Structure 1
Amino acid sequence: MLRLLLTCEHGGNKVPVSYEALFKGQEDTLQTHRGYDIGALELFDKMKSVADVHFHSETTRLLVELNRSVGHPKLLSEFSCVLPEKDRERLLQVHYFPYREKVEHMIQDFVSAGRRVLHIAVHSFTPVLDGEERKADIGLLYDPKRKHEQALCRQWKKKLQQNDKDLVIRFNYPYLGIADGLPSYLRRKFTGDQYIGIELEVNQRFPIQESDKWASLQRLLTNTVEELLQENR
């Protein structure tokens, strides 16, 4: 029996009160794709209607990057890495480990009950990075060595394009599915039969510039995920 776990690690750009001084004068930066995944929380809120369980964060990724492992050079941004060591450790204990542990423990609960987990992590990407245009509407990120992840991504892409043939959908783009991230960490904890991790990346062009298309795309993503669940349960 397949269960859907939906997460959104970069849902907002909020700064906890105790860290506001770190971001003084950086209000514009917090509003950009560096501060959060534009549109991701809106999409997450739409898709969670078909999820068995869901978790999200609205704290800015510039405080601590929930989608990076401890030791990764981008775990803390240039704004938060200046904190003294004991304050950096407290930051992780309060704002990092609890989120990731909630997700991991939920998967363990499902697996212990004999369920297989489909984890979709909802993200979005900036249309242009470092002057280069990203040539995709949707990216589906997975580990090619995991047969269930590959099969579900192919199935999902087919469903999406059956409904909208003009959608440009690419696998492991604009990032590799095996790059450091929460699903990559969870793959080390659970087998391919227990855990299916997919990162959904949607072009921020839609929420920023194409509101009508964005609304229909949210419905399409939600409906096709529901179909995937029905067909694979």
Structure 2
Amino acid sequence: MSLDKRKVLFTCEHGGNEIPQEFNAAFDGAEGALTSHRGYDLGALDLFQKFANAPYADKAFYSTTSRLLVELNRSRHHPRLFSEFTQPLQEEEKRQIITQHYLPYRQKVEEQIHDWIQEGYQVLHISVHSFTPVLDGEKRKADIGLLYNPGREREQLFASKWRQEISRLDGDYKIRYNYPYKGTADGFVTLLRRKHTPEEYAGLELEVNQKFALGSPEDWLVLQNVLVSSCGKAL
């Protein structure tokens, strides 16, 4: 595809663990959860900002509101849209959260994609995430996950090219497809696929093991640079 007919979008749905002041009472005693992987994607915002500043990034959107307030990467009617801290709130309070924090973020992303498609561009959307090294006592066996829909050729091809470019720059990283989650699971990218044809829209989720953000700053910086550089080469 011609470079002048493609737009590249980066998003980060879980960049922070902020709670709006009016909902602080619902999170009394929740400091441990908010600072853990449940509250946000550790390191994801740092990595996202590297992508956002790359010369090939056409637009970037992020949120620093905690996923424990509302899960921006879940559909509106997903049973875990609200966490155990916000599920007990009154329906009016939940509507307020949806109106003020959920819809504005998702709508600006959707509107940007829609506008580009209307202008005749093909969109490549990369959603930046990180995952906890150990979940429920089980160690995750990957450094990098590339999540895509195997039924959409553009996504499959880009994931394959990106993996090759990462390995060319550093062959020590363990890269897995559709891990630690399936690329077709409920999520923002999955919704966007339903709204647009494979020719109009390709969406991938990048998942990076949080052990890098928790470990050596030098190793973490190296990985960030490898991912940003390899993505550019794969485009």
* Structure 2 CA distance for aligned equivalents of residues 155 and 186 of structure 1: 22
Question: Which residue is 2:229 aligned to?
Answer: 223
Runs of 4+ aligned residues of structure 1 deviating over 2 Å after TM superposition are: none
Any stretches of 5+ residues in structure 2 without a counterpart?
none
Deviation at residue 71 of structure 1 after TM alignment: 1.2
The 8 Å contact of residues 165 and 231 in structure 2, kept in 1 or not, is answered as: no
| CA deviation after TM superposition for structure 1 residue 209, in Å | 1.4
Partner Cα distance (2:58, 2:76) in 1: 28
Identity of aligned residues (%): 52
Give the structure 2 partner of residue 64 of structure 1.
Answer: 70
Correspondence 1:155 to 2:157: no
**Equivalent residue for 1:23?**
27
Matching of residues 1-233 of structure 1 within 5 Å: 1-50=5-54, 51-229=57-235
Residue 22 of structure 1 aligns to which amino acid in structure 2?
A: A
1:102-151: per-residue Cα shift (whole Å, max 9, x none)? 11110011101111111000000000000000000000000000000000
Task: Give the RMSD, CA atoms, in angstroms.
Answer: 0.7
Aligned pair count reads 229
C-alpha displacement of 1:29: 1.3
Counterpart residue identity of residue 180, structure 2: P
Structure 1 unaligned spans of 5+: none
State the distance in 2 between where 1:44 and 1:123 align: 8
Taking structure 1 as the reference length, the TM-score comes to: 0.97
C-alpha separation in 2, matches of 1:163 and 1:76: 40
Give the match's secondary structure for 2:7: strand
Secondary structure of the 1:188 match is helix
CA drift of 1:59 comes to 0.4
TM-score normalised per structure 2: 0.96
Q: Return the offset for 1:228.
A: 2.5
Q: How many Å separate the matches in 2 of 1:174 and 1:71? A: 23
